[in-house]
Structure 1
Amino acid sequence: MAKVSLTEASLALGETSKVMAGLVERFGPARFGPKPAVGERFEVLSREIAYQQLAGKAAGAIWGRVREQTPEWVPDAVLSLGEEPLRGAGLSGAKTRAMLDLAAHCEQGSLDLARLGRLSNQEVIDQLTQVWGVGTWTAQMFLIFSLRRLDVWPVGDFGVRKGYGLAHGWTEPPTPEELEPLGDQFRPYRSVAAWYCWRATEV
């Protein structure tokens, strides 16, 4: 099967409903940014941990300070840092534990980030969520933005739910349970549909 571009996926989504067609017209083709190299996956996941449940600007400031703790962001260097520098840079105790556990799993070989691209979406989620503090949301963000999987539907993301509700003129966003089946119309490009839901929140 030929690889589908984000532009092709966006155009296909525009055919699914008038609401989606309007979002595609308003925001243009979806853009996911540069795809990280395989060797950057550990740093990408660490950054996602730092960003959990925080607004972008605040999370970016904390991650900037965390990243300055070592010139090379690799598992053994992070393990050598230990807890104190990470906490001192602004990470919560839970995020510090998660970041160190991620480094330990990678260093011990129980998590091989290089081979994740060969696994199914569910297998990737199963692999990543063995790390303490890494949940389905973090794994789904990795699938979408690092592995470029086009059919991930992150119903646990409040921005996706809020954007879907706003785009459809709802007074309240759908719950995760309500949103799950609503994504079926967007298969096999639910990741791209999620991108448009995020954009719909940008009033």
Structure 2
Amino acid sequence: MSAAATSSTAKKIPFRSRKVRISSSEPPSTDTSKKPRLVLPILPRSLSAPGELDSALGHLRAVDPTIAHLINSHDPPAFDNSATPFLFLSRSILYQQLATKAAASIYARFLSLCGGEDSVLPEIVSALTPQQLREIGVSARKASYLHDLSSKYLSGVLTDPAIVAMDDESLLSLLTLVKGIGPWSVHMYLLERSWRYEALRADTPISRSCSG
């Protein structure tokens, strides 16, 4: 083959340009300071703490004569803290997205299945099969929520004494680790079980619904 033919053949062979990637020498940013955080205000004392209720009622009497008359016409409210945090959270899961009457019926059957309110304990709820829960009207999803709650108690991630002693922010962070427990459920716990009325000031569906 002549030199001219060789040169002609070489000219017909295509060559692709190679792209050179320049990698940054800087490590990826780990700054999480800009990520939004859902934080509840910390309230050191609840309405059930000594003196708090009297202070609250005194304030209401001072700012509204009509409310003052109603307060003076009735006995002071009593705080029932008999429900353990585990019982309260189990009940909260069962009541989610149901009409009150239907939820109350399922909850009554749940208590019967466990052996009464005093027997609603992590080890007992954990032992209930999805089929047993299904037979009393609990959906498969809620059954998984109850089992996840029980599992976190049995593993020591959650305990009743720790929940009672936690500040609002820690409680929100920890309880929302449980499947089926969101900020709304935590706020309801703060209001109904811990009587921490400051939860109403948080930017939550509760405060928005109260403000109309």
* TM-score normalised by length of structure 2: 0.63
Rg larger in structure: 2
Question: Which consecutive aligned stretches of 4+ in structure 1 deviate over 3 angstroms post-superposition?
Answer: 1-5, 13-16, 21-33
Q: Secondary structure at the match of 2:114?
A: coil
Does structure 1 residue 128 correspond to structure 2 residue 166? no
Q: Secondary structure at the match of 1:152?
A: helix
Greater Cα offset, 27-36 or 78-87: 27-36
Corresponding residue for 2:21?
none
Higher fraction of helix: 1
Corresponding residue for 1:77?
124
Matches within 5 A, 1:152-191: 152-153=199-200, 155-157=204-206, 161-162=208-209, 164-165=210-211, 173=212
Structure 2: 5+ residue stretches without partners? 1-44
CA contact (8 A) 1:10 1:29 kept: no
Q: CA RMSD in A?
A: 2.8
Corresponding residue for 1:201?
none
CA offsets per residue over residues 62-84 of structure 1, 9 Å max, x none? 11111211212111111111211
Corresponding residue for 1:198?
none
CA distance in 1, matches of 2:141, 2:58: 41
Structure 1: 5+ residue stretches without partners? 166-172, 174-203
Greater Cα offset, 77-86 or 25-34: 25-34
CA offsets per residue over residues 8-53 of structure 1, 9 Å max, x none? 314324556x6xx75665576874641126xx22111101111122
- Residue 36 of structure 1: which of 78, 82, 91 is its match? 82
Matches within 5 A, 1:52-201: 52-71=96-115, 72-153=119-200, 155-157=204-206, 161-162=208-209, 164-165=210-211, 173=212
Aligned CA distance change for structure 1 residues 24 and 130 (closer, same or farther; 3 Å): farther
CA offsets per residue over residues 57-106 of structure 1, 9 Å max, x none? 22111111112112121111111112111122112222221111100100
Aligned CA distance change for structure 1 residues 92 and 32 (closer, same or farther; 3 Å): farther
CA distance in 2, matches of 1:133, 1:141: 14
CA distance in 2, matches of 1:54, 1:89: 14
Greater Cα offset, 100-109 or 70-79: 70-79
Aligned CA distance change for structure 1 residues 4 and 74 (closer, same or farther; 3 Å): same
Identity %: 27
CA distance in 2, matches of 1:8, 1:88: 48
Question: Number of matched residues?
Answer: 158
CA distance in 2, matches of 1:64, 1:26: 34
* TM-score normalised by length of structure 1: 0.65
CA contact (8 A) 2:134 2:140 kept: yes
CA contact (8 A) 1:79 1:100 kept: yes
**1:135 counterpart letter in structure 2:** G
